[in-house]
Amino acid sequence: MRGRKIGLLGGTFDPIHRAHLALADCAFRTLSLDELWLLPAGTPYMDKHSGITNAETRAEMAELAIRGRRGYRVERIELERQGKSYTADTLRLLRERVPEADFYFLIGSDQLYAFPRWHNPETLSTLCRFAVAARELPGQRRNLGEQAAYLFRKYRMEITLLPFSEQEISSTEIRRMIREGRDASKWLPPEVYAYILSHRLYQ
């Protein structure tokens, strides 16, 4: 019997928005996943988010965003740990907890090019497969297919390119919109937007 196919989407989710969910939904359909887990980040080692919203608030927004989505859940493993949070450590712990699972880690195309600079990339490629939002980036030496082939040769990294064009929005821009008093409802699930307004976040 095959193990569960579980998609993993990590992020600070500050706040979680429609582009996050669109990527998750695309992966769920394309890869025929059994489950999709959102992994709110603790202290992302590559980012300098000195003003990041507290972990419990970000997790609550993620829970609201996936309410009613069958097979979706928020996994708080990174929030339970102290100190810096590395993807390799998270995946190792998940592999210990669910050894039979077939994990697919979801990333954007920019992260595919940055992968050699990740912490412990050699270990990462042994712990999961990768699913990449397929959007070509200008100015790259290799196209996405060539980069995927290069990473397979170098790290034996198994990659699926998802038919997904990333939406032009970011959590940073959404926070700016709210801070400036602009309407950000287009980019947020209604429950998340209501939560942000009622808790006066990002103001």
Here the CATH number for the domain that contains residue 140 is: 3.40.50.620
Rounded to an integer, what distance in angstroms lies between the CA atom of residue 131 and that of residue 161?
A: 6
* Residue 97 forms part of a structural domain: yes
Rounded to an integer, what distance in angstroms lies between the CA atom of residue 23 and that of residue 190?
A: 18
pLDDT in tens, 104-123: 999 998 899 999 999 999 99
Is the predicted pLDDT of residue 47 greater than 90, yes or no? no
* Residue 189 forms part of a structural domain: no
Is the predicted pLDDT of residue 30 greater than 80, yes or no? yes
* Residue 23 forms part of a structural domain: yes
* Residue with the larger pLDDT of the pair 109 and 127: 127
- How much is the pLDDT for 29? 97
* Residue 164 forms part of a structural domain: yes
Lowest-confidence region among 26-35, 57-66, 69-78, 81-90: 81-90
* Residue with the larger pLDDT of the pair 123 and 165: 123
Mind spelling out the 3-state secondary structure of the chain? Answer: CCCCEEEEEEECCCCCCHHHHHHHHHHHHHCCCCEEEEEECCCECCCCCCCCCCHHHHHHHHHHHHCCCCCEEECCCCCCCCCCECHHHHHHHHHHHCCCCEEEEEECHHHHHHHHHCCCHHHHHHHCEEEEECCCCCCCCCCHHHHHHHHHHHHCCCEEEECCCCCCCCHHHHHHHHHCCCCCHHHCCHHHHHHHHHCCCCC
* Residue 155 forms part of a structural domain: yes
* Residue 181 forms part of a structural domain: no
pLDDT in tens, 89-108: 999 999 999 999 999 999 99
* Structural tokens at position 40: 């709110």
> Average pLDDT in the 181-187 region?
97
- How much is the pLDDT for 19? 94
Supply the mean pLDDT for the chain: 92
Rounded to an integer, what distance in angstroms lies between the CA atom of residue 51 and that of residue 40?
A: 16
* Residue with the larger pLDDT of the pair 50 and 7: 7
Residues 6+ apart with CB under 8 A from 35: 4, 5, 6, 7, 71, 72, 73
- How much is the pLDDT for 33? 98
Q: How many C-beta neighbours within 10 Å does residue 154 have?
A: 13
* Residue 175 forms part of a structural domain: no
Looking at the chain, the whole-number percentage of residues with pLDDT higher than 70 is 93
* Residue 186 forms part of a structural domain: no
* Residue with the larger pLDDT of the pair 140 and 38: 38
202 close to 178: Cβ distance less than 8 angstroms: yes
- How much is the pLDDT for 44? 54
Rounded to an integer, what distance in angstroms lies between the CA atom of residue 37 and that of residue 71?
A: 8
Q: Supply the range of the domain harboring residue 52.
A: 4-168
| Total domains in the fold of the chain | 1
